[in-house]
Amino acid sequence: MASPQNALHATRDYSTITEIAYHESPPSYKTFLEQYLEPNLPVIIGPDLTKHWRARLQWVSHDTGKPNFDNLREQLCHNPVEVPVADCQCKDFTDQRRSTMDLKAFLDEWETDSMANTPSRTYLKDFHFVRTFPHYDAYETPDIFRDDWMNEFWTRRMDMDDDYRFVYCGGDGTFTPFHADVYRSYSWSANICGIKKWTLFPPNQEHLFCDNLKNTVYDIENVDPVQFPNFDKAKRFTIYQKPGETLFVPSGWWHQVHNIGDTISINHNWCNGSNLDLLLDSICSDLKEVEREIEHLKDVMEEGEWIETCQKLLLLNSGWDWSTLWHMCMTIRKRIQAQMRHGGLEESSYLTFTKDEEEMPRKTPIFQPPLVSQQPPLDLTLRRVDAVLDYIKNEKSARWFLEHIKNLVLDD
Binding-site ranges for ligand AKG (CB under 6 A): 168, 176, 181, 187, 189, 196, 249, 255, 257, 265, 267
Nearer to ligand AKG, 37 or 385 (CB): 37
- Rounded distance, CA 176 to CA 133, Å? 24
**Sequence-ordered list of residues with C-beta below 8 angstroms from that of 106, at least 6 positions apart, any chain:** 83, 85, 122, 124, 169
Which of Fe ion, ligand AKG, none does residue 265 bind (CB under 5 to 8 Å by kind)?
Answer: ligand AKG
Burial label, 5 (beta-carbon count in 10 A; 0-12, 13-18, 19+): buried
Nearer to ligand AKG by Cβ, of 319 and 377: the residue is: 319
Of 72, 78, 136, 138, the residue nearest 110 (C-alpha): 72
What is the rounded distance in angstroms from the CA atom of residue 371 to the CA atom of residue 348?
7
CB 310 within 8 A of CB 290: yes
Determine contact, residues 119/155, Cβ cutoff 8 Å: no
Q: Dihedral through CA 359, CA 270, CA 239, CA 233, nearest 10?
A: 150
- Residue 189 interaction partner, one of ligand AKG, Fe ion, none, beta carbon < 5-8 Å per kind: ligand AKG
Rounded CA separation 225/229 (Å): 5
Query: CB-wise, 180 or 310, nearer to ligand AKG?
Result: 180
Q: Which residues of 177-193 are buried (b: 16+ CB within 10 A; e: fewer)?
A: bbebbbbbbbbbbbbbb
* DSSP secondary structure, 277-302, as one string: HHHHHHHHHHHHHHHHHTGGGGGGS-
Q: State the minimum distance, in angstroms, from the CB of residue 367 to Fe ion.
A: 19
Cβ 189 to Fe ion, closest distance in Å? 8
Q: Which does 147 bind (CB under 5 to 8 A by kind): Fe ion, ligand AKG, none?
A: none
Task: Concatenate the DSSP letters of all residues of 59-83 into one string.
Answer: SB-TTT-SB-HHHHHHHH-SS--EE
The smaller minimum CB distance to Fe ion, of residues 257 and 332, is found at 257
Q: Provide the minimum distance between the beta carbon of 263 and ligand AKG in the complex, in angstroms, as a whole number.
A: 8
Report, in Å, the least distance between residue 255 CB and Fe ion: 6
CB 231, min distance to ligand AKG, A: 19
Residue 230-269 contact track with Fe ion, rule CB under 5 A, x = bound: ----------------------------------------
Identify which of residues 319 and 344 has a Cβ nearer to ligand AKG in the complex: 319
Rounded CA-CA distance 150/174 in Å is: 28
| Cβ proximity to ligand AKG, 9 vs 255, nearer residue | 255
Q: Out of Fe ion, ligand AKG, none, which partner does residue 387 contact, by CB within 5 to 8 A per kind?
A: none
CB of 377 to ligand AKG, least distance (A): 28
Which of 69, 198 has the CB closer to Fe ion? 198
Q: Which of positions 134-193 make contact with Fe ion (CB under 5 A)?
A: 181
Rg, the chain, Cα only: 22
Closest separation in Å from C-beta 371 to Fe ion: 27
Residue 96 contacts which entry, ligand AKG, Fe ion, none (Cβ below 5-8 A, type-dependent): none
